Structure 1
Amino acid sequence: MTHRLTRTTALASVLAFSAGALSAQQLTFLVDSSADSVAVTEALTAAYTEMNPDVTFSIETRPGGGEGDNIIKTRLATGEMPDLFIYNSGSLLQALRPDRTLLPVDEIENFGLINEAYVSTVQGESGATYGVPYETAQGGGIYYHKPTYEELGLEIPTTWDEFMANNARIAEETDVAPIAQTYRDTWTSQLFVLADFYNVLQAEPDFPAQYTANEAHYSDTPAAANGFSRLQEAYEAGYFNEDFGAATYNDGVAMVATGEAAHYPMLTFAVGVFQQNHPDLMEDVGFFAQPGDDPEANGLTVWMPTSLYAPADTEYPEIVNDFRNFVASPEACDIITDTIGVTGPYLISGCDLPDEVPGMVADLLPYFEEEGRTAPALEFLSPVKGPALEQLTVEVGSGIRDAASAAELYDQDVAKQARQLGLEGW
């Protein structure tokens, strides 16, 4: 369904909503196709419809990664975006030019409950805010198979060298793939680069500002280039599953849950997929931050949550924002927890975690609780992120391209994006 806003339809929607006499309305909702996103959306929309029987939802799914990015941009540009959609916060949001294309949320009743650090990642240049958190904060790191570690007497690594030594033991002494890679879903190939950013900041604290100003780049900053080099090193060591080119994200989760692989680099939103697909194996999986070079500076790269947005031209702005107000509530947090379990800390005031959480979540929380052990991913400190990264990391992780040339090509990709955003110095 295509919705085009007119003054008449907008006014009619406002009056109907204000009077509490809504005629039946069906809102369209676009989400990514991951099992956890679909499950959460079905649960939240069902709860809202129970409270507001005249409002129903039609849910549509899209792919993840670059293909999904293009669908979002195209549908916004052509006026065919559904009434609600979920998408990234941070740099990828800026590419949507939110001040022109999206509906603000600053006036919703629960706006004051939203974490201030999060709010800064979903604002446009005007200062207006466009999204509400749709899930918990996430960490980028490495899931590991606990029984494999116990069998070999391995310790949780705090440096990259220790991590690679663990992989060597696994390769030599078991039939388990040391590292699961899942390049059929190309976006999953980026983790060794993106989750390394905590380590980049330890070496180069000014990198985000210099990067945004075109004064520092991946190819000429060794700490930043390390992510590409580490991906190349792991591939050349032969540590990946044999079917890494055809395996999917869900396959990667299954491999580390069942012990077919010892490690899977991934964001912690995967906790929901573990809970849905492998509930009886949850306690066989742990999590640790991607190690760097210094064991005394071991910490976690953090992603702000996927966010819930609405196009500026929705026919139902009042209903849409009432639904987003509901999503930004402790009640909605409880629904998410009941649906997919706890995947990390919520960024809505009043949203408490249960007393008991899965072991992999318990592994995550100390990073948030100890000062200095978390840092935002680069995409939340800079508006610049090149869309070709996942293709380049697939090439490095497949032995098609070396790390140095990938870093150079990514810098070129970033420059195109920066010029499209009109940033100074590019």
Structure 2
Amino acid sequence: MTRHLKYRLASACALIALLAAGPLRAETTLSFLIDNGPDTLVAAEALVEAYAAKHPDITIEIDQRPGGGEGDNTIKTRLATGEMADIFLYNAGSLFQVLKPEQTLHDIAGLPALANIAETFKSVSSAGGKAYGVPFGTSMVGGIFYNKKIYRDLGLSVPKTWAEFMANNEKIKAAGKVALVQTYRDSWTSQILVLSDYYNLQASVPDFATQYTANKAKYATTPAALKSFERLKDVHDAGILNEDFGAASYDDGLYVLANGDAAHYPMLSLAIGALQQNHPESLADIGFFAQPSDDASVNGLTVWMPPALYIPASSQHVDDAKGFLDFVGSVEGCKVLMGVNTVQGPSLIKGCDLPADVPPAVTDMLPYFKDGRTAPALEYLSPIKGPNLQQITVEVGSGMRLPADAAAMYDDDVRKQAQQLGIPNW
């Protein structure tokens, strides 16, 4: 038999084997848009690498966008023009609703991973009875980070009331430390004392979210809601802040908390990742407690959901994009995320348990969840969140605007947002 005949026979056999195995699958390239946070990039790269190992025919290219308001505008513009990536990362809750998901996103009904995703997350990434997103990380909470070493040195106890908290601040100030750091250069951080107070507001006015959405309850005319703005005035007027609170950045706040120059920093638990990355030697000295109320029996955490991965209606690779979302929403994908990003709160995926070596700040959060002392942040109970809150809270926290005026201004901000969303009764 000649060499050419042998080659043709071998080629024919190989072709028959390939045909028997089924049609060849063409390689697909998916685009994946994320924010420009360093932790986000590390997590996205780990997920893409793990998925590529299982699906070598799928290439996923990561692109980044700015954060904050500029990033919000990027998302809205790319969705409106049909130029969105095949998969993109964005908030759940009220900001998700602003995207008009039933018009701009592809629903992921039937995705196997949905069966193990917590209902609390599905409720804030769904619209019109359809699910649209899978979680990118664990839940988060808002409250007060504190330096445990300072507390030990001064013999302080974790406060349950606002009066106890302010008393601790006075003792810390007397010891020559910054009692509470604020970082208004990054204006989004100015909102935390207001937003984290929602557990206390809901405990006082259980139907506030419903009445607020229906235009029947206002921040300015609901004493428990107004109190959230008054907290900002309290800490400013007490003279317990860092002198550079108007110029200090988020990174500055974490630095002085970690090195023991400041005792308290109101912040979301997302900061645990940055603390572990930039101040790992201090992580064991950083604890966390719920924002205190005026009543020791009311003591719980306001909870934030992680952002979600979505598929735009304009994607030309919906099935392949769904495959990636199904992986991210699985226990395997959850563990990939936990392996590269610090846990910021309890997992939202059944079967994806927290590792045993979580930071002390996370350990401090767990009893609140175990005892049922948690409430979702208002932005997950209502589709309305005024876009100018951070500018308003900077003014209150800097002593430039009174809480009552600020609350009324925010109510007007909310009115404009509700009208843009077409919410009834506005």
TM-score normalized with structure 1 length:
0.91
SS in 1 for 2:123: helix
Q: Which residue of 1 aligns with 2:158?
A: 156
Task: Write out per-residue CA displacement over residues 203-246 of structure 1, whole angstroms, 9 at most, x where no aligned residue.
Answer: 11111111111010000001011111111221222222233233
| Aligned positions, number | 405
Which residue identity does 2:197 align to in structure 1?
Answer: D
Deviations 1:123-155 (A, max 9, x none): 11x211111111111111010011111111111
Classify 1:26/1:254 alpha carbon distance in 2 versus 1 (closer, same or farther; 3 Å): farther
**Structure 1 residue 22 displacement after superposition:** 4.4
The 8 Å contact of residues 150 and 263 in structure 2, kept in 1 or not, is answered as yes
Q: In the TM superposition, what is the alpha-carbon distance from 1:188 to its structure 2 partner? A: 1.3
Between the aligned partners of 2:281 and 2:323, the Cα distance in structure 1 is: 37
Tell me, yes or no, if the aligned pair for 2:137 and 2:338 is still in contact at 8 Å.
Answer: no
How do residues 7-156 of structure 1 correspond to structure 2 at under 5 angstroms?
21-124=24-127, 126-156=128-158
CA distance in 2, matches of 1:21, 1:392: 58
- Is the contact between residue 35 and residue 71 of structure 2 (CA under 8 Å) also seen in structure 1? yes
RMSD: 1.6
The percent of aligned pairs where both chains have the same amino acid is 53
Q: Which moved more, 1:146-155 or 1:268-277?
A: 268-277
CA offsets 1:34-80 (integer angstroms, 9 cap, x no match) = 23222211211121122222323332333333332222222211222
Name which of structure 1's ranges 24-33 and 292-301 shifts more when overlaid on structure 2. 24-33
Aligned residue for 2:85, secondary structure, equals coil
Say whether residues 1:202 and 2:203 are aligned partners: yes
Is there any run of 5+ residues in structure 1 with no aligned partner, and where? Answer: 1-18
Q: Does 1:212 align with 2:210?
A: no
Task: Give distance in 2, aligned partners of 1:325 and 1:244.
Answer: 43
Call closer, same or farther: CA 1:172–1:76 in 2, change over 3 Å: same
- Give the deviation of 1:193 after TM superposition: 0.4
Contact 2:92 2:308 survives alignment (8 Å): yes
Equivalence for 1:418: 418
Output the CA distance in 2 between the equivalents of 1:61 and 1:261: 33
CA distance in 1, matches of 2:182, 2:76: 28
Cα distance, 1:122 vs structure 2: 0.9
Q: Which runs of 4+ in 1 moved over 3 A?
A: 19-26
Q: Shift of the alpha carbon at 1:398?
A: 1.9
SS of the residue corresponding to residue 226 of structure 1 reads: helix
Distance apart, 1:283 and its partner CA: 0.4
Q: Which residue of 2 is the match for residue 396 of structure 1? A: 396
Shift of 1:425: 1.0
Partners of 2:210 and 2:318 lie apart in 1 by 36
Partner of 1:9: none
Q: CA deviation at 1:355?
A: 2.5
Aligned to 1:10: none
Q: What is residue 234 of structure 1 aligned with on the other side?
A: 235
8 Å CA contact 1:300–1:374 kept in 2: the answer is yes
Matched position secondary structure for 1:243: coil
Deviations 1:324-378 (A, max 9, x none): 000011111211111123221111111111223211110011110003x111111
Work out whether residues 273 and 340 of structure 1, in 8 Å CA contact, stay in contact via their aligned partners in 2: no
2:131 is paired with a residue whose SS is coil
Counterpart residue number, 2:179: 178
Whole-angstrom CA distance in 2 between matches of 1:215 and 1:20: 60
Given that 1:64 and 1:187 are in contact with CA atoms closer than 8 Å, whether structure 2 keeps it comes out as no
2:31 alignment partner, SS class: strand
8 Å CA contact 1:65, 1:186 repeated in 2:
no
Q: Please list the CA deviations of residues 59-107 of structure 1 after superposition, one character each: whole Å capped at 9, or x if unmatched.
A: 2333333332222222211222222221111111111100001121122
Distance in 2 (CA, whole Å) between partners of 1:205 and 1:376 is 12
Distance apart, 1:302 and its partner CA? 0.8
Residue of structure 2 equivalent to 1:374: 374
Secondary structure (helix, strand or coil) at the match of 1:343 reads coil
Contact 1:90 1:122 in 2 (8 A): yes
Does the Cα contact within 8 Å between 1:66 and 1:187 map onto a contact in 2? no
AA partner of residue 158 (structure 1): K
Deviations 1:302-343 (A, max 9, x none): 112211112110121111111100001111121111112322
For 1:267, the equivalent position in structure 2 comes to 268
Task: Kindly state the Cα deviation for residue 265 of structure 1 after the two structures are TM-superposed.
Answer: 0.9
User: SS of the residue aligned with 2:60?
Assistant: strand
Q: How far apart in 2 are the matches of 1:226 and 1:220? A: 11
Task: In structure 1, give the amino acid aligned to 2:215.
Answer: N
Cα distance between partner residues in 2 of 1:75 and 1:286: 40
1:362 has 2:363 as partner: yes
Moved more, 132-141 or 50-59: 50-59
Match of 2:310 in 1: 309
Unmatched 5+ residue regions in structure 2?
Answer: 1-21
Displacement of 1:194 in angstroms is 0.4
Q: 2:278 matched to which residue of 1?
A: 277
Q: Which amino acid aligns with 1:222?
A: P
